Amino acid sequence: MRLSCLQENLKRGLAMVNHAISPRSPLPILANVLLATDSGRLRLAATDLESGITCWVGAKVDEEGAVTIPAKLFNDVVNNLPNDRVTLTLDARTQTVLVECGRYKTNIKGIDAEEFPPIPNATEEEPTFTVAPDQLQHAIQQVAFAAASDESRPVLTGVLMRLRDNQVTMAAADGYRLAIRTLNLPIGAINPAPALTEFIVPARALADLARILSDDGGAVAVTVTSGGRQVMFHNEMVNVVLRLLDGKFPDFERIIPTVYTTRSMLDTAEVLKAVKLAALFATSSQNIVKLSFEPGDDLGPGKLVISANATEVGDNQGEMDGLVHGEVSQIAMNVRFLSEALTAIKVAQVAVEMQGPQSPGVFKPVGQDSYVHIIMPMTIR
């Protein structure tokens, strides 16, 4: 194998596949990255047997071949090379890769590519649905963080993806909050006979996918394998294979409140700023902030007061105007959950709906019905 490519492109490709590297694996091959020529490009691949990532880097290929080399070492070498053309030459007899860039030369010993576990190819299956990369990326960013990190209920560590008509609904919950994002897709974007209409994808792996997606590779084909055990996200730049989680996701729709006694519309950035300031005091008092809503009248708008109190530190209170309708109401919430929910709402105004201090708070972007975030209340001792 002999090829050359730009250092910046190789660096970006390695950053993508490194998300699938398992540094603590007992199998040495899983700490390696696969380098292979593929139709005039360099193919990089890594897997931890639960997930696999393949990406393609533009290259000038002089001689075909493949090898695996230690991922961390190779990544560190490439990151420290000058922004110039990198030449990779494989000595097939010793399985050693010579890395040349400018006036630098490095030899890295590898393992035969035949020992590398196979990663499924998305082109072998009919896509379940197709979506724009930025649309999928934003949806993941709005729901994945709400999944549980506690492995005691494995299904809650994942994101549900449900297909109905021309919509894909993504939902994540951890028992204290619930995030729901609906993607409206063009007619024909969803396979009329998919292998599964509901499946659960590991949230942490989805978050990694969102970090590596870009518009460069075009539309993303999402494919559930015919056996229903894996899902693939594929475009011209990258192919990500993830093992699906077993189990049934909770019926999240029955959790969504359908009525409210108080509804407010507020400036998202202003509320988030007040929450972050209150968080400085909430961290010393069970991470609780209190939200107090006061409806407006003919003489002026309503207002929201956000407060936190830490006995040994002090207290903080922030007040802002807003359109508040209904009853005077209060609710206490986990400050981190509240901050993350507001950060996920990417529009100027947020609507907050509630029924009282013992009922969940519902957060929605004003003018959009594609996102809902629900946070359970907390009790102030």
Greater model confidence, 75 or 301: 75
Q: How far apart are CA 328 and CA 58, in angstroms?
A: 61
Of the candidate ranges 213-222, 311-320, 323-332, the one whose mean pLDDT is the lowest = 213-222
- Alpha helix ranges (H) inside 250-360: 268-282, 335-344
Q: How far is CA 235 from the centre of its chain?
A: 17
Please compute the mean of the pLDDT values over residues 252-257 and round it to a whole number: 92
Domains of the chain, CATH where assigned: 2-115 (3.10.150.10), 122-253 (3.10.150.10), 256-375 (3.10.150.10)
CA–CA distance from 358 to each of 125, 238, 259, 333, 379 (Å)?
48, 46, 14, 11, 8
Closest CA relative to residue 178, chosen from 153, 208, 147: 147
Percent of the chain with pLDDT over 90: 84
Strands (E), 133-276: 158-164, 167-173, 177-184, 198-202, 220-224, 230-234, 238-243, 262-267
* Pairing of β 198-202 and β 177-184: unpaired
Assign 3-state DSSP to the chain and report helix, strand, coil percentages, each to 5.
25, 45, 35
Residue 30: partners with Cβ closer than 8 Å, 6 or more residues away: 21, 22, 47, 48, 49, 117
Long-range CB contact pairs, 283-289, < 8 A, 24+: 283/310, 283/335, 284/310, 284/311, 284/312, 284/313, 285/309, 285/310, 285/311, 286/378, 286/381, 287/334, 287/335, 287/336, 288/332, 288/333, 288/334, 288/335, 288/378, 288/380, 289/332, 289/333, 289/335, 289/338
The SS3 of residue 246 is coil
- Report the 10 Å Cβ neighbour count for 58: 12
pLDDT of 284 > 70? The answer is no
Please compute the mean of the pLDDT values over residues 90-104 and round it to a whole number: 97
Q: From the CA atom positions of the chain, what is the Rg in Å?
A: 25
pLDDT of 78 > 80? The answer is yes
Number of H helices, E strands in the chain: 6, 25
Q: 99: part of which helix (H) or strand (E)?
A: strand 96-101
The SS3 of residue 258 is coil
CA–CA distance from 139 to each of 170, 184, 311, 360, 372 (Å)?
8, 11, 39, 22, 12
CA–CA distance from 275 to each of 219, 256, 310, 321 (Å)?
37, 24, 15, 15
Q: Report the chain's mean pLDDT, rounded to a whole number.
A: 94
DSSP state, residue 287: T
Instruction: Look up residue 370 and give its two tokens.
Output: 């594609």
Instruction: Look up residue 148 and give its two tokens.
Output: 């549980």
Please compute the mean of the pLDDT values over residues 39-63 and round it to a whole number: 96
What pLDDT does residue 297 have? 83
Residue type, 309: N
Q: What is the pLDDT of residues 187-219, one digit of tens each?
A: 889 998 888 899 999 999 999 999 998 877 789
- Burial (CB < 10 A; 0-12, 13-18, 19+), residue 358, is exposed
pLDDT of 358 > 70? The answer is yes
Q: Write phi, then psi, for 122 (nearest 5 degrees).
A: -65, -25
Closest CA relative to residue 210, chosen from 355, 127, 202: 202
